[in-house]
Amino acid sequence: MNEWPAAVWASISAMTAALVLSLVFVLGSFAREAVKIQQTDEDAIAIIQEYREYSRYDSTKGLYPSDVITAISESRGFPEIWVDIEEGQGEYFLWKWTKNTLPEEYTTAKLVGRFPLVALYDAKLVRDLNGVVSRIEFRRQ
């Protein structure tokens, strides 16, 4: 007769354990979905921030030297800034600011001294295979 109460308690314990495990599984599933939604939101925010930061240089024509200097000062080497110093169609990117550029090359006095006041530049964004802006090219008109 003592076997029945022990069997009832064992079955109740097994059902309770199954209920707890099911609850843990469901809560884990909810947590994964919440993280997935949050990551999607963060990705969208990063894309919008990149667009706001670099859209002013996306195939823009007639930029002044001050615009180029601003891009150089803000980038600090990433993305790279390449500047074509010759007028016309040729590409002579002799001025390049990369992550290996020395910090003193970013001073305002040094940058302002390099650029002619009357020059105009056309900007172009260069993206890597992932779509990230890796370089901004400024061609002198």
Residue ranges of the domains in the chain?
1-57, 59-140
Helix (H, G, I), strand (E, B) or coil at 114: helix
Q: What's residue 92's pLDDT?
A: 81
Strands of 80-83's sheet in order across: 95-97, 80-83, 133-140, 121-127
* Angle, vertex CA 86, rays to CA 58 and CA 125, nearest 5: 15
pLDDT at 90: 75
Cα-based torsion angle of the residue sequence 78, 79, 83, 84 in order, rounded to the nearest 10 degrees: 140
Q: Rounded to an integer, what distance in angstroms lies between the CA atom of residue 97 and that of residue 105?
A: 8
Which residues in the chain show pLDDT less than 50?
Answer: none
Confidence at residue 57, expressed as pLDDT on a 0 to 100 scale: 95
pLDDT for residue 88: 77
pLDDT of residue 54: 93
pTM as predicted: 0.73
pLDDT on residue 1: 55
